Structure 1
Amino acid sequence: MTILCVPYHLDEYLPRFRFRLPERVGTVEADLPDADRWTRMAALHGAVADRVAAHVRAGRVPKVLSGDCMVALGTTAGVQRAGVDPAVVWFDAHGDVQTMQTSASGYEGGIPLRVLAGYRPDPATDRLGLRDIDEERLLLVDGRDLDPPEVEYLRGSAVRRSTVAGIEPTVLPEGPLLLHVDLDVIDASEAPGLLFPTPGGPRTDEVLTAVRTVLETGRVTALSVGCTWAPDEELDADGGVRDRLLTALLEASA
C-alpha cells in the first residue's frame, strides 16, 4: 500500500496532522515560497503531483491523506502526468463547486471540484498543469449541504449526482477513476471534530460499502482522502475515532 500524508490545510502546515496507522506512511512536505496563498498552494500541489505521478507510473495506487480537499488537485494532476486520463468520483457532504466570485465566505477550500471542471481562480493555478475534466465525467456523491450558487451551477451543468446508497457500478463514469473521499461525508455524529460538521449524512458503514463498490471496479488509479478535522484538534481528542476511521477506509482500499 502506498500512503502519502500531506499535512497541510490550504497553505498552512499542520504539525498535529498525524495518524496511528498500521501501514508505513510517507510524508509530502514542500518549501513553500514567501508569496500569496495561491502561489503557495500551487507549489504544494505540484510536489504532491510529482510524488503521485511516480507511484502511478510504477503501477501503484497512491492513497493521499490531506487536511483539505484542495490537495486532490495535486493528486489528479499527478495521475494525469503519469499519462492517465481519470474521471472523478467525489464523496463529500458539500458540493465543492463554488467559485471565488460566488462564495459568500471566500473560503478557497470550497472550489476544488469546480477547478477540476475547468475553473481557474488564480493564474498561479495554471502552474500545476491540470487538464480540465469534462463535467459528465465528474460524479458528486452525497453533496447534501449546498449553497444556492452551487445548486444553480449543478442544475445547469453535466456534473453527475448520486447518493451514497445509490452507488453501484452502473452509475460510475467510464474509464480510470480518481476517487476522492472527504470524511465529512459521514454523519457528524460518527466523525467528531470535523472542521465543517454536517448532520443528516450516511453512517460510516454505508460510506465504506460505497467506497468498496468503487474500488472493486479495479479502475481506481488514486485515492484522495480529505481528513478535514479542525486543525487544532489533538490526535487523541476524539478517543481514537479518526485513527479507526482512516484504518477502516484504507483497509477497504487494500
Structure 2
Amino acid sequence: MQLTYVPYHLDQHHPDLAVPLPAGADVTEITVELPAGDVFARLVPLYSAVAGAVAASPETPVVSGDCTVTLAMAAGMLRAGLDPSVVWIDAHGDVQTLETSASGYVGGTALRLLLGYRREAVLDRLGVAPFASDRVLLVDARDLDPPEVEFLASSAVRRVPLSSLPSSLPEGQLLVNVDLDVLAPSALPGARYVAPGGPSVATLVSAVRTILATGRVEGLHIACTWEPGRPDLQSLRGEIIAELLTP
C-alpha cells in the first residue's frame, strides 16, 4: 500500500502528530521549509509539494493533520487531468469565513476556500478554479455555526447524513475528504474539536467502503484532526486508520 503523509496542522509541522500508519505501507512523507508570512503564504509551498505528489499518483491516499490539505489534493488531481466532485465527511461544515468566525480558525474555512472564498489566498496560487457548489456533498456536518447555516441555506452544496451514502453521491470522479472528528467523541479521544453525537468507527468505515466500492474514488484524504502526542492513544488510532485504508 502506498500512502502520502503530511504531518502538519495548517502551517504547523507536527512530527509528533502520532499517526500510526499501517505496517508495511510505502510512505512518502512531505515536509517543507515554510517561509515567513501569514498562514496562507506559508501553506502555499506545502500544498504545492502535496499537489505535485498527488499529480504523480492521484490514487494514493493522503493522510494529514487537517482538512485544508484537500485543497492541495484538488490541485494535484486537476494537474493529473481528473475533474472530481467532492464528498466532504466531517462533524463540522468548514464553510466559515474569517470575517464571521468567532475563533478565526482557518481550518474552519477549508471547504469554503475550495468553493472560492479568498481564492487569491490559496486556489489562485495553486492554479485551481473554485469548485462549483452543486458538485460538493457535505456529509454529517452536525455542528454548524449560525453563519454556516445561513451560507448553506442559500448554497447549492448538498448536506446529507452519513446513512444516505452511497445513494446521494454526486456523479463522476470523486475526491473524498474524511475528517476523523466526524466520529463520536468516545470513539476518537483527543480530537481537537469535539462535536457531540456522531457515528461509531464501524459505521464510518462501512460508509467509506460503500463509496470506495463505486470505483469512482480518484482521491482519498484522511484528516487526523487530533492533538499531537498522546502515545496512549496510538493503538486505537492505528486501528481506525487501518480500517479506513483496508478495502
Conserved in 1, the CA contact under 8 Å of 2:134 and 2:157?
A: yes
Partner of 2:35: 33
Partner of 1:237: 232
Partner of 1:15: 15
Q: Aligned to 1:41, what secondary structure does the other structure show?
A: helix
Measure how far apart 1:238 and its partner are.
Answer: 1.7
2:89 to 83, 91, 116: 91
Partner of 2:141: 143
Q: Aligned to 2:86, what secondary structure does the other structure show?
A: strand
Conserved in 2, the CA contact under 8 Å of 1:38 and 1:125?
A: no
Conserved in 1, the CA contact under 8 Å of 2:94 and 2:111?
A: yes
- What does 1:127-138 correspond to in 2, within 5 Å? 127-138=125-136
- What does 1:30-179 correspond to in 2, within 5 Å? 30-56=32-58, 61-120=59-118, 123=121, 125-168=123-166, 170-179=167-176
Distance 1:244 1:41 in 2: 30
Q: Aligned to 1:93, what secondary structure does the other structure show?
A: strand
Cα distance change on mapping 1:238 and 1:35 into 2, 3 Å: same
Distance 2:234 2:135 in 1: 38
Distance 1:20 1:71 in 2: 18
Conserved in 1, the CA contact under 8 Å of 2:119 and 2:130?
A: no
Conserved in 2, the CA contact under 8 Å of 1:188 and 1:198?
A: yes
Root mean square deviation of aligned Cα: 1.3
Number of residue pairs matched by the alignment: 245
Partner of 1:4: 4
Letter in 2 for 1:211: V
Distance 2:138 2:172 in 1: 16
Q: Aligned to 2:102, what secondary structure does the other structure show?
A: coil
Higher mean displacement: 196-205 or 124-133 = 124-133
Partner of 2:183: 186
Measure how far apart 1:121 and its partner are.
Answer: 6.0
1:182-223 Cα offsets, whole Å, 9 max, x none, are 000110101111111212101111111110111111111110
Partner of 1:205: 202
- The unaligned stretches of length 5 or more in structure 2 are none
Measure how far apart 1:111 and its partner are.
Answer: 0.8
TM-score normalized by the length of structure 2 = 0.95
Distance 1:124 1:247 in 2: 31
Distance 1:115 1:35 in 2: 19
Q: Aligned to 1:123, what secondary structure does the other structure show?
A: coil
Distance 1:227 1:242 in 2: 9
1:248 has 2:243 as partner: yes
Letter in 2 for 1:42: V
